[in-house]
Amino acid sequence: MKEKKIIYKGYIVESLRNGKFRVLLSNHDIILCYISGKIRKSFIRILQGDIVKIEMSCYDSKKGRIIYRLNKNNK
């Protein structure tokens, strides 16, 4: 059975090494996120201040995976 994923919108606060980022969620939590394989494979650049979609496991609420970078107009 597959585990359920939770999807949030977030704001990149800080860029760390190895494709990891600190992301501010809409509920004012800051979590540690890494880039998903498709974004890394397509060389999509994510910078501080970008709006992203985060996929989180329901078991660990402090880590997530960036699955999509939104335009800054789509807030």
Structure pTM? 0.85
Residue 70 bridge partners (DSSP): 51
Sorted by where each starts, the structural domains of the chain and their CATH numbers stand as: 5-69 (2.40.50.140)
SS3 call for 66: strand
Give the number of other Cβ atoms within 10 Å of residue 70's Cβ.
13
- Tell me what pLDDT residue 65 has: 95
pLDDT (tens digit, 9 = 90+) per residue, 21-73?
Answer: 999 998 899 999 999 988 889 989 999 999 999 999 988 889 999 999 997 66
